[in-house]
């Protein structure tokens, strides 16, 4: 009886399907220890040495696929058990396949090459389904984030452009006010001078008329 088909943890944080499946997403900020025993071939990580060093999620994702692969295993001997046996002895050693097959025949007498290949194709198909699912999720999340970033950059760029335009207008207004300030004294100097002359004339006229009046008053007091 096959185990429940793929109930793998999400490959992405905050995946909505993760909550519905009742699983807890592993935080990718804490990479899985490189000492974790992997069921995948060691050649898989050795084939990408640079990625192994620069991608902190690589070991974690390998473990996700490992557990998913194992979750598909049926009771009895099939491709999964042969796979583990061959990987333990040597994937390029012909004897490892023969030994694993002989061991499998002792458990499952009707074991055939065709059955193993059929089950191998089944595992590949199931893994491809999960890969497609999470690849789609990843591309969707990336597209959403790209759109969000694009919108934020556009809005900020527009705000910056608007502010720069306002600054240019304020600078123009500032220069105009400075010029206006410089023109105040020359423009009003003639008026100020005229007003001052009139005030001076007013003072002189008052003094003159008062002086003459006072002279007459003095004469009246003296001569009458």
d(CA 25, CA 153): 30
Q: What confidence score (pLDDT) does residue 52 get?
A: 57
pTM for this one? 0.55
The position carrying tokens 């030994």 is 99
Let me know how many helices (H) and strands (E) the chain has, helices first.
Answer: 7, 0
Q: What confidence score (pLDDT) does residue 152 get?
A: 97
Dihedral over alpha carbons 155, 161, 166, 169 (to 10 degrees): -160
* Among 12, 25, 3, 1, residue whose Cα is nearest residue 126: 3
d(CA 117, CA 168): 74
pLDDT in tens, the chain (224 residues): 344 444 444 444 444 444 444 443 333 333 333 333 434 444 444 445 555 568 888 998 999 899 999 999 988 899 999 999 999 999 999 999 999 999 999 999 999 999 999 999 999 999 999 999 999 999 999 999 999 999 999 999 999 999 999 999 999 999 999 999 988 888 788 888 889 999 999 999 999 999 999 999 999 999 98
- Cβ atoms of 29 and 155 closer than 8 Å: no
Cβ burial of 123 (10 Å; 0-12, 13-18, 19+) is middle
Core vs surface per residue 92-109: b (16+ CB within 10 A) or e: eeeebbeebbeebeeeee
């Amino acid at each position: 009886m096959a185990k429940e088909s793929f109930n793998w943890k999400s490959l992405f944080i905050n995946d909505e399907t993760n909550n519905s499946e009742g699983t807890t997403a592993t935080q990718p900020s804490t990479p899985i220890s490189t000492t974790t025993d992997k069921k995948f071939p060691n050649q898989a990580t050795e084939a990408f040495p640079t990625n192994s060093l620069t991608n902190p999620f690589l070991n974690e994702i390998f473990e996700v696929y490992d557990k998913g692969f194992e979750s598909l295993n049926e009771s009895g001997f099939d491709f999964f058990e042969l796979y583990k046996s061959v990987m333990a002895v040597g994937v390029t050693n012909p004897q490892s396949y023969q030994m694993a097959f002989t061991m499998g025949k002792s458990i499952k007498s009707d074991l055939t090459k065709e059955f193993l290949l059929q089950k191998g194709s089944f595992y590949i198909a199931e893994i491809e389904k999960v890969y497609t699912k999470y690849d789609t999720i990843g591309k969707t999340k990336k597209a959403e984030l790209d759109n969000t970033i694009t919108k934020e950059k556009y809005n900020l760029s527009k705000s910056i452009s608007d502010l720069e335009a306002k600054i240019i207008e304020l600078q123009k207004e500032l220069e105009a006010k400075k010029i206006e300030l410089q023109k105040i004294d020359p423009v009003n100097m003639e008026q100020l001078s005229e007003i001052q002359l009139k005030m001076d004339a007013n003072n002189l006229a008052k003094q003159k008329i008062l002086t003459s009046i006072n002279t007459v008053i003095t004469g009246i007091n003296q001569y009458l």
